[in-house]
Each structure stands twice: as structure tokens, then as C-alpha cells.
Structure 1
Amino acid sequence: MDEERRITLRLPADLHEWLTAQARSARRSLNSEIVHRLEAGLGNASADDQSP
């Protein structure tokens, strides 16, 4: 990932609170936590792409 893009993201308050707690627990920023979880989900996406 050489390029970064800035986006505006709306989250339900309870999801935001949960992600913030997870980020704090992992000693990451909220942004880093979201990126980490999205990248971790990419492995699952390739399997989903192959299903009919």
C-alpha cells in the first residue's frame, strides 16, 4: 500500500466505542485498528470471491 486516501466514515456509536476499546487494548490508534481489521479480512474475501 503505497498510497493513502482520507475518507469520512460514519459508524454506529456502539461500534465506535467497541473499536476504540479494541484499539486501546492492542495499543493502536483507532485508524490503525480499523486498517488492521480490514487487512485481516482480506484473507477471507478471496475465499468469498471464489464461491458461486
Structure 2
Amino acid sequence: MSVGDARLRISITSEHTRDDLDEAFAILVESALETGVSVTPSVRRKEPASAKEA
């Protein structure tokens, strides 16, 4: 990787709950915004199709 680049790897398992994933996502977005990392609309939380049908 080039100087100034970074990579974050995240592993999701069947042991993680929806609440776990929601919390992790919120923390990542908040951290990105606080540090000036661009958060585009495509990475903001979207409801899955199954949630819309429920």
C-alpha cells in the first residue's frame, strides 16, 4: 500500500447479531466523519429489502 493509504478489514460471523452490526456501522460512520474521511451516500445505512417488506 502507498504511504497515506490504509485498509480496514472486518470479519462478520453468524455469531454477530443485527444489533452488533448496527452498532459497528454507526461507530465506523461516526469515526469517519470525525476524522474527515468521506462518507458517501452509497455507504450510509440502507434498510434491507426484507425489512421493507415486513
TM-score (norm 1): 0.36
User: TM-score, normalization: structure 2?
Assistant: 0.35
The structure where helix makes up a greater share of residues is 1
